[in-house]
Structure 1
């Protein structure tokens, strides 16, 4: 309870601070960004671009962990959390509906042309979450001593130092590139810090233990009530997203101002061929609505866990994986990559209506992504006899988890 109160109080204080000093931080950022862009040293742009784009390497680490390590559940929970923070950032952007610096500051040039609102920074929120959650969730033995393995203190300090520097450089790169202000970056870090503190202290262990228990041989599966509760949360989140989208669409946004922002996007971005308008699904409040629907991925994952009727023996995978031939290992990888590649054509579908874009593309990707990784992948491995003991959702005709479900009271002790 104490951690929750202190964290929430600190978040509230910073939100007030951000509102009071927003203009001052914006002006300071404009001076800083103009100075950085006008006084570049050779290779500086490439360095910052590296840190900005390194964000996309983190899901690859989760994919590798899912394919080759014991903690497959941790890798998937990590992906669910990142998607949830991505969805949270999109709703927050529609609440703040603040421009990116290059939209309105003539002297600032964009080195990347993001089209949604700027506050809070999506890179700041997701990169900090991705960096700091990797050792806590995917590789917990690094920071938390195990029974037969104790990580040296210097290694823990070194890892946290690298993660901190990496997160800082990612945020600072966005300022240099002209796509975020200092206030937008700081606010993104604050929101993610709050999310991580609350999740790790109150939710992570109960959720992990519950799913592990549900997937033990002979145990009962995920409760219908738990799946329904998560689905209801995703539905409520979607309604909230639509509410702020419509408020922006009908009340808060001035079309003349938005056209000036979009003019800047078209004129400053060399590769921008389309001159968008306020109703284009790819920009501002429209794309924020679409991205907020990534909240359905955690629901899809949980639903897939229930539908698969598989089991999960966490500590057995690496032992049995070594017994596979090279070609069996290769086929396992290819099957998952092929499944994920099926989603790629959906990404390139262009809808002319925002709701069609949101529900036809982003909701579809979120639902199919979770089901492919859980139900479809596990059943294909079983069909081709490529699964091994310790696989996440191992399908076995002899031993499966009971789909009727654990009692919801056994989810764990989530106490504030």
Structure 2
């Protein structure tokens, strides 16, 4: 189906649900209140642990993306996955600043606050981001699950077949032998098919359960209503569908073309830096406008004072309306993590490297454990530079954003795509298949031993130093 038609269909679905949500918001709130009260009548320790697990489940997929970026061929997809997640988080905070709806525990005295989130509640960030993270994880990070069992069964059958034919002399295949081999192949195909179906059903069931339980856990903990959770799911599904069916293939193809070793087009990438900063300024301008609008319209509302009082009771703090950690101030801060995408783009342009997918897993086998540790440290140690920014505090939310959130977010991006590959080159730790690898493409086709590998890596780095 045409991408334009698909985007219209997805957007129409989103708009239709948003209209329904606005129309039936009060009814959903009443239903949610009764549901949450019934869930919180008894809170066994085991039940609380289960719901806590699902509310923290959203932190697992980014760790999986980190693993893929460090230890697997799937490096570009890992970064694209991270970028989509950041876009989802940023979108969610902008929407919260538009809806400015309180969380249930801030309003309803009958609902306990088992968690103490202090920004607005609609739409649910956990629900929205869980849809994006969990659905995209097998699509972008682990696409090999589509072929579960296939390669294993086929390889084993081929080995058996080869062993049966590995004798000397002439071989005359009788009709009986041929039928026997066909029956073996058919039996193995049936095993493969059943295994694949079973594994895919298990994975799909787990993914759907995780998404549903994440939403239910937020209602149970008193931090979201059913309406907030449903809207989060819809927005998460919209972002996921738009990315998978409309954006991903074209974007990945374009990036691979830019970073292909034999067709490097770094001059064409120079416009990425001003473009990325322009988009960041647009994001900050939009979030700052919503911050100002919220402060002008809702600053004097009595409801806001009661919401802040509930937040203080839950967190045992003394936040005021100007505190950066609450309500629209908190939403404004979180939009700053969008700067991480800017850091990724700037780092990619500055490091002037190339990327050839599918080489890393082959070449990483030639690395020693010591080299693996050094490579990991080359990524982790630069983050020490960002630690001082973590301790910056200010009662002015704009100062907090500019001096803390933006430097940390931008720094993370530029370390991953800029500092990390630079350090790998500097210390002769790069191997073909690394993201943004400085290489001569003719070397990539060779299967080399450890000494030869290190010699070529040294040559690559020497040539890189000469270019500086």
TM-score (norm 1): 0.90
Q: Distance in 1 between matches of 2:432 and 2:390?
A: 35
Which structure dedicates a bigger proportion of its chain to helix? 2
Deviations 1:206-227 (A, max 9, x none): 1111111111224112523344
Verify the 8 A CA contact 2:62 2:82 in the aligned structure 1.
yes
Deviations 1:336-375 (A, max 9, x none): 2222344344233211101011121111112111100011
SS at match of 2:359: helix
Corresponding residue to 2:127 among 124, 127, 131: 124
- Matching residue of 1:284: 327
SS at match of 2:143: coil
1:266 aligns to 2:312 (yes or no):
yes
Q: Distance in 1 between matches of 2:126 and 2:387?
A: 22
Deviations 1:174-230 (A, max 9, x none): 100000110001001101111111111111111111111111224112523344334
State the 1:389 CA deviation. Answer: 1.0
- Matching residue of 2:109: 106
| 1:207-222 to 2 correspondences below 5 Å | 207-218=251-262, 219-221=264-266
Q: Distance in 1 between matches of 2:381 and 2:129?
A: 26
Deviations 1:363-414 (A, max 9, x none): 11121111000110111111111111110112345888xx9xxxxxxxxxxx
Q: Distance in 2 between matches of 1:344 and 1:106?
A: 39
SS at match of 1:352: coil
- Matching residue of 2:356: 313
SS at match of 2:366: coil
- Matching residue of 1:414: none
Verify the 8 A CA contact 1:94 1:117 in the aligned structure 2.
yes
Q: Distance in 1 between matches of 2:382 and 2:197?
A: 41
| 1:9-408 to 2 correspondences below 5 Å | 9-143=12-146, 152-218=196-262, 219-221=264-266, 223-267=269-313, 269=314, 272-395=315-438, 396-397=460-461
SS at match of 2:297: helix
Q: Distance in 2 between matches of 1:209 and 1:170?
A: 34
**Inter-CA distance 185–399: structure 2 relative to 1 (3 Å threshold):** farther
Q: Distance in 2 between matches of 1:220 and 1:132?
A: 33
CA RMSD between the two structures: 2.2
TM-score (norm 2): 0.81
Greater Cα radius of gyration, structure 1 or 2: 2
Verify the 8 A CA contact 2:299 2:321 in the aligned structure 1.
no
Deviations 1:141-187 (A, max 9, x none): 32379x97999344333322211110111111010000011000100
SS at match of 1:116: coil
Q: Distance in 2 between matches of 1:237 and 1:157?
A: 40
Q: Distance in 2 between matches of 1:344 and 1:144?
A: 42
SS at match of 2:260: coil
Name which structure has the greater RCO, CA cutoff 8 Å, separation 6+.
Answer: 1
Q: How many residues align?
A: 398
**Inter-CA distance 128–21: structure 2 relative to 1 (3 Å threshold):** same
Runs of 5+ consecutive residues of structure 2 not aligned to the other structure: 153-191, 439-459
Q: Distance in 2 between matches of 1:112 and 1:349?
A: 25
SS at match of 1:322: helix
State the 1:19 CA deviation. Answer: 0.4
Verify the 8 A CA contact 1:290 1:359 in the aligned structure 2.
no
